Amino acid sequence: MSSCARELFVCPHCDAVHRAVVLSRHEVAACVACGRVLARHHSLSVDQLLALTLTAALLFLIANSYPLMTIEVGGMHTEATVWGAALLMLHGWAAWPAAVLALSMFILPLLQITLLFWVLAFARFGRRAPGFRGLLVTLHRSRPWSMTEVFLLGALVAIVKLSSWVHVTPGIGIWALASLTIVLTILSMVEPRFWWTLLRAHA
């Protein structure tokens, strides 16, 4: 393998071979054949990414410990959390969608935040995190199944839907969930290749 092969990019959508270019601020490199975005400039340092990951962890904690919404009917009240919504259906045949919900809305986002923190915390001190390879592969594979943003929209629809019958109060959880969605989106815009070359660039 020549060192030349390292500077090449192959578009995952159409197999076109490109030579890597240095991107400046706000620049995006797209495939000449099919238009897929191949690389995006981002100026986030390991420290900043670590800070974002910690923010995500805190927001995740808040989003899951405070109710997303509370409803009140004649002195009684019930509340829903991300975890609670999935757990409630976890009986009989409804266990199947409940498991998908729990995985995509709770377990996978938590796993991703944990993995990012682990990898970045070691990279911060110029070290390769134990299990680096397997963890990054897991991170990459689990990405399409992590759906925090869908949960956010679903919660908003549920609020509107229920508010036609009962009094619904949005809770702290929903604000945390909205912020978490933004932070996770920023983090997911960092392309996979960055993580693999993390140590080369910052050692």
- The smaller minimum CB distance to other proteins, of residues 51 and 153, is found at 153
> How far is 26 from 185, CA to CA, in rounded Å?
17
Q: Are 119 and 135 in contact (CB under 8 A)?
A: yes
- The smaller minimum CB distance to other proteins, of residues 160 and 203, is found at 160
- The smaller minimum CB distance to other proteins, of residues 26 and 141, is found at 141
- Minimum CB separation of residue 91 from other proteins in Å reads 10
- Minimum CB separation of residue 61 from other proteins in Å reads 20
> How far is 203 from 198, CA to CA, in rounded Å?
8
- The smaller minimum CB distance to other proteins, of residues 12 and 126, is found at 12
Measured between alpha carbons, how far is residue 162 from residues 58, 83, 84, 157 in Å?
Answer: 29, 19, 17, 9
3-state secondary structure of 24: coil
- The smaller minimum CB distance to other proteins, of residues 47 and 197, is found at 197
- Minimum CB separation of residue 30 from other proteins in Å reads 10
> Do β-strands 76-80 and 69-73 pair in parallel, antiparallel, or remain unpaired?
antiparallel
Measured between alpha carbons, how far is residue 190 from residues 5, 46, 155 in Å?
Answer: 22, 11, 27
Site of interaction with other proteins (CB under 8 A): 1, 4-6, 8-10, 12-19, 21, 31-36, 68-69, 71, 73-74, 76, 78-80, 84-86, 88-89, 93-94, 96-98, 100-101, 104-105, 133, 136-137, 140-141, 144-145, 147, 150-151, 153-155, 157-158, 160-162, 164-166, 168, 192-193, 196
